A and B are shown apart, each in its own frame.
Chain A
Amino acid sequence: MAYSELIKNFDKIRGYMRQFFVFGFKGRSDFRSKSQRSYDNERRRLESWLKDYMAFYQDASGKKAFISAASREIPHNPFYEAFKAKSFTAGDITFHFIILDMLSGGNKMTVNEIISVFYDEYFSHADIKSLPDESTIRKKLREYVKLGLLLQNRRGREAEYSISPDIICLEQWRNAIEFYSETAPLGVIGSYLCDRFAACGINVSGAFRFKHHYFLHALDMQVMHDILSAMRDKKATEIFFVNSHGNMKRHVVLPVKIYISSQTGRQYLLAWHYVMGKPHFYRIDYIRNVKAGNKEKKYEKYLAWHENFSKALWGVSFYDDCHTEHIEMTVKAGQGEEYIIQRLEREKRNGKVEKIAEGEYKYSADVYDSLEMLPWIRTFIGRIISLKCSNAMLKQRFNDDIRLVAGFYPELDAEEKETAEPENAAKNPERQQDK
Chain B
Amino acid sequence: MIFSEIYGKYYQAVAEMLRLASENRLTEKKLYEISGKAFSESVLSIPAAIQQKKWPLLGPGLSSILRNKPFMPLSLLEKRWLKSLIADKRIRLFMPEDKKFFSKISKELEGIEPLFAPDDFVYFDRYSDGDDYSDENYARNFRLVLAAIRERRKIEISFTGARGKTHNWTIIPLKMEYSPKDDKFRIAADSVREQIYINMGRISSVSLLDRYPQADIHVPLPGKEKLVLELVDERKSLERAMLLFSYLKKETRKAADGKYIINLFYDNDDAAEILIRILSFGPMLKVLSPASFKGLLLARIKKQRQLIAKGEVF
Contacts and interface: CB of A to CB of B under 8 A. Distances in A.
Interface residues of A, number: 149
B253 to A, nearest CB: 5
Contacts of A415: 298, 302
Contacts of B276: 379
Given A147-B75, A208-B176, A402-B301, A70 B247 contact: yes
A315 B125 contact: yes
Interface in A317-375: 330, 342, 345-349, 374-375
Contact of A346 (B15, B113, B129, B309): B129
Interface stretch (A32-40, A153-161, A288-296, A384-392): A384-392
A257 B124 CA distance: 11
Contacts of A183: 178, 180
A167 B101 CA distance: 14
Contact of A222 (B3, B93, B309): B3
Nearest to B18: A97
B84 A210 contact: no
A243 interface: no
B40 interface: yes
A180 B180 CA distance: 11
Interface stretch (B23-31, B66-74, B206-214): B66-74
A123 interface: yes
A228 B178 CA distance: 25
Given A73-B221, A189-B78, A228-B115, A88 B314 contact: no
A207 B150 contact: yes
Contacts of A393: none
A25 B70 contact: no
Contact of A184 (B84, B150, B265): B84
Contacts of B77: 147-148, 189
A83 B2 contact: yes
B177 A208 contact: yes
Interface stretch (A108-116, A246-254, A261-269, A271-279): A261-269
Interface of B: 1-12, 14-16, 18, 39-42, 45, 49, 53-57, 65-68, 70-79, 81-82, 84-85, 88, 90-91, 93-96, 101, 105, 108-109, 113-116, 120-129, 146, 149-150, 175-182, 188, 221, 238-240, 242-244, 246-254, 260, 265, 267, 276-277, 279-283, 286, 294, 298-305, 307-310, 312-314
Which 6 A-B residue pairings sit nearest by Cβ, starting from the closest?
Answer: A148-B76, A382-B300, A404-B283, A382-B303, A176-B94, A375-B280
Given A179-B90, A215-B247, A261-B125, 14 more contacts: A57-B253, A83-B3, A93-B14, A96-B11, A126-B56, A170-B74, A176-B91, A184-B84, A185-B116, A212-B247, A222-B3, A347-B127, A378-B280, A415-B302
23 contacts: A68-B250, A86-B7, A97-B15, A122-B65, A130-B53, A149-B72, A166-B74, A183-B178, A186-B81, A186-B84, A186-B116, A207-B150, A210-B177, A211-B178, A216-B246, A225-B2, A232-B116, A257-B121, A259-B124, A262-B126, A346-B127, A395-B314, A412-B305
